[in-house]
Amino acid sequence: MRNEGLDKRKILQILEEKLACDHSYDEGYILGSMCTEVNEFGKEVYLKYISKNLGDPGLFPGTAKLEEEVVAEIGELFNGSNIIGSFMTGGSEANLIAMRIAKKLHEDIKEPEIVVPISAHRSFDKAGDLLNIKIKKARLKNNFELDLEHFNSLISENTCGVVAIAGTTSLGLIDPIEKIGEIIDGRDIFFHVDAAFGGFVLPFLKQLSYDIPPWDFSVKQVDSITADPHKMGMGVIPSGGLFLRNKEIIQKVGFEIPYLAGGNFKHLHLVGTRPGATVIAFWAIMEYLGIKGFTQIVQKCMDNTHYLAEQIKEIKGVALAAEPVMNVIGITTENGESICELDKELRKMHWMLGKFEEFNLIRAVIMPHVTREHLGRFVNDLKIAVKKLKLN
Ligand SMILES: Cc1ncc(COP(=O)(O)O)c(C=O)c1O
């Protein structure tokens, strides 16, 4: 650290230089991120309340109450009533905490196991590692749908929880959540739905009359849902969310924090100190956009998704890995050749998608920052790359 402080203007100039190599969403090349530009009003609100600390809620009872309100409101959006929960650092933390709850509720199981689809996010592997839970992975069918029979066969007397995904990381697909609910019905198994991405897409697709299967608290066996404001919610990073049906869970399995200035309380978090401003900002974004505003944004994303899907179908040599359900598109090769070379070629042309080697696809996420013009440029470059690699 320097001995004497620098002039603010100089510091800002140095920062501009140091950060000039970062990519920005409006350049149009970020096609593989589930994050996007934060809503402008959300940014304003965030800055105003940046010092609020929800790690000590007794000091910020107004912020803590607002968190309860925003959680309950999102819970209603997910067809629940009196839903509790909390904002977290993201989907990974929310999934980890959900897996801890599943384990803690079954302390009689000595070698706890969780059953997940193989398409589940890596955060479940992390959770397995950190919590010492065996993660059993169910196969997918050729069309990338979950092989429900295999999923069922992995459930044993050691199963403390099962996981389904509403918006898979690779393809945005929805697992058969009602059917999984039927499988575990009446059994003492915790059912977690990872809607980190889909949580702020699916309710609005429903508004647009898309045929969306039940995925949320309307499925009576679902105990908890992950949904991230910092993905399609356009919230400030970091904001993930964990939503729980059972009001007793925090009392039952929460960590007691005894030393705080604001007084004793219990929470589920990994972290102690945590931002209040991200929660306040997301409350403001929800108030500002309303269902209508979110629906319009999702509609634009879906229009662009359908546009890109149609364009890909026209390009000989590549194919859609699956028909898109939400604003995620998987591109694979028509002849089964490895997707790696295509990914490399596109990267040379600055395009940044996500590569899923295990499914031989590259993934485009058609976020609010992606425009038709960006997609037009991408399609042109994709055609060039396909030709160069002789995939056609
Ligand atoms: C389905 C799903 N769950 C969880 C996560 C992890 O979220 P985060 O990166 O916010 O920890 C992701 C990230 O892409 C995801 O797609």
End-to-end alpha-carbon separation of the chain, Å? Answer: 56
Across 135-164, average pLDDT? 98
Please report the atom of ligand 1 found closest to the CA of residue 93. Answer: 11
169 lines ligand 1 (CB under 6 A): yes
**Model confidence over 200-230: pLDDT tens digits?**
999 999 999 999 999 999 999 999 999 999 9
Q: Quick count: other Cβ atoms within 10 Å of Cβ 346?
A: 24
User: How many CA within 13 A on the CB side of residue 34?
Assistant: 29
**How remote is the CA of residue 169 from the centroid of ligand 1, in Å?**
7
pLDDT exceeds 90 at position 93: yes
Which of the listed residues 34, 146, 271 should we mutate to test ligand 1's pocket, taking the one with most ligand atoms within 8 A of CB?
Answer: 34
123 lines ligand 1 (CB under 6 A): yes
201 lines ligand 1 (CB under 6 A): no
> Could you tell me which of 256, 251, 191, 199 has the C-alpha nearest to residue 230?
199
| Alpha carbons 122 and 188: distance in angstroms, whole number | 25
Please name the residues in contact with 168: beta carbons below 8 A apart, sequence gap of 6 or more.
117, 119, 120, 144, 174, 175, 328
The mean pLDDT of the chain is: 97
Q: Which two tokens stand for residue 130?
A: 């950190």
235 lines ligand 1 (CB under 6 A): no
| CA 248 from centre of chain | 25
How is domain 8-39+298-388 classified at the architecture level of CATH? Alpha-Beta Complex (3.90)
Q: What is the DSSP letter of 80?
A: -
pLDDT exceeds 90 at position 392: no
**Model confidence over 282-329: pLDDT tens digits?**
999 999 999 999 999 999 999 999 999 999 999 999 999 999 999 999
**Model confidence over 264-291: pLDDT tens digits?**
999 999 999 999 999 999 999 999 999 9
**How remote is the CA of residue 119 from the centroid of ligand 1, in Å?**
12
Contact 116, 124 (CB under 8 A): yes
Whole-prediction pTM value?
A: 0.97
Contact 155, 185 (CB under 8 A): no
**How remote is the CA of residue 6 from the centroid of ligand 1, in Å?**
39
**How remote is the CA of residue 120 from the centroid of ligand 1, in Å?**
9
Please name the residues in contact with 110: beta carbons below 8 A apart, sequence gap of 6 or more.
none
Q: What is the DSSP letter of 174?
A: B
| Alpha carbons 180 and 218: distance in angstroms, whole number | 13
SS (H, E, C) 184-245: HCCCCCEEEEECCCHHHCHHHHHHCCCCCCCCCCCCCCCCEEECCCCCCCCCCCCCEEEEEC
199 lines ligand 1 (CB under 6 A): no
Contact 341, 360 (CB under 8 A): no
**Model confidence over 237-259: pLDDT tens digits?**
999 999 999 999 999 999 999 99
pLDDT exceeds 90 at position 181: yes
Each domain of the chain, given as residue ranges in start order, spans 8-39+298-388, 44-287
What is the CATH T-level fold of the domain 44-287, as seen in this structure? Answer: Aspartate Aminotransferase; domain 2 (3.40.640)
Note if the bond before 238 is cis, omega within 30 degrees: yes
> Could you tell me which of 171, 67, 163 has the C-alpha nearest to residue 124?
163
Q: Which helix (H) or strand (E) element contains residue 304?
A: helix 277-314
Which of the listed residues 194, 228, 282, 327 should we mutate to test ligand 1's pocket, taking the one with most ligand atoms within 8 A of CB?
Answer: 228
Cα-trace Rg, the chain: 22
Q: Which helix (H) or strand (E) element contains residue 361?
A: strand 361-365
**How remote is the CA of residue 19 from the centroid of ligand 1, in Å?**
25
Contact 324, 172 (CB under 8 A): yes
